[in-house]
Amino acid sequence: MKNILCFGDSNTWGYTPLTTERYPLNIRWTGVLQSLLGEGFCIIEEGLNGRTCIHDDPTRTDRNGIKLLPSILKSNSPLDLVIIMLGTNDLKASLKQTAYSISLGAKLVCESILNSEMLGLKNTQILLISPSHVEIVPEEDKDEFAHAYDMSRKLSQYYSIIAKELDIHFYNAAKIVKTSKLDGVHWDGEQHIFFAEQLSHKIHAILS
């Protein structure tokens, strides 16, 4: 059995831009991925709306990814693969980040796994995924995502460099997924399914 932890934000949780609820298991990419990979794999969903790489959200202090990750790793070990897909929420204007500084935060998240002394993580592979691009957001979100359109398009370049530096795996979600026109941030159901289909090939290559 191959255990795979999917650590991400609302697009891993399965947030639907139409109803703000959660896509069912057979739609969100983690559930589709489990179905595609089959019985020899266990997909562990660990998505949280608003989760950042390393920053405290002024309004939601429990969304700092690097603070929560150690406990999540311990409770789910041993792990064969950890998938990290974070960075979209770090684009918020209130956090005052750049694309480069966000990538450094993603690097710290990955290093926290590499530097873990837990026996169950000794041979764990890491897949760093740069998130999908932010598109045009609704009027009520324009201030918070004022620079996200341009910054989100720079993340993949920095993330790929980080992955090479750490000798971990890299994947660019923006080449696969287009965000919904309803809010410019989240994925339609069809995109969840397509992303899982494409990602399954990458996972087979990593864990074969």
Helices 155-166 and 99-114, packing angle to 10 deg = 30
Contacts of 85 (CB under 8 A, 6+ apart): 6, 7, 8, 9, 11, 12, 129, 131, 173
The DSSP-derived string for 146-159 is TTHHHHHTTHHHHH
- Give the model's pLDDT for residue 10: 98
Sorted by sequence, the CB contacts under 8 Å of residue 128 that are 6+ apart come out as 84, 106, 110, 159, 162, 163, 166, 168, 169, 170, 171
pLDDT of residue 166: 97
pLDDT at residue 142, rounded to an integer = 93
Percent of the chain with pLDDT strictly greater than 90: 91
Range of the domain at 84: 2-207
How far, in Å, CA of 132 to CA of 208, rounded? 26
Strand 2-8 and strand 125-130: the pairing is unpaired
Task: Report the share of the chain in percent with pLDDT over 70.
Answer: 98
Kindly tell me the burial class for residue 77, based on how many C-beta atoms sit within 10 Å of its own C-beta (0-12, 13-18, 19 or more). middle
Closest CA to 45 of 30, 63, 67, 59: 30
Mean pLDDT of 12-34: 96
pLDDT tens for residues 38-71?
999 999 999 999 999 999 988 888 999 999 999 9
Average pLDDT over residues 184-198: 98
Question: Does 118 score more than 70 pLDDT?
Answer: no
Q: At what angle do helices 99-114 and 65-76 cross, to 10 degrees?
A: 30
Could you report the per-residue pLDDT of 90-111, keeping only the tens digit for each?
A: 999 999 999 999 999 999 999 9
pLDDT in tens, 124-163: 999 999 999 999 999 999 999 999 999 999 999 999 999 9
pLDDT of 120 higher than 70: no
CATH of the domain at 58: 3.40.50.1110
Number of separate domains in the chain:
1
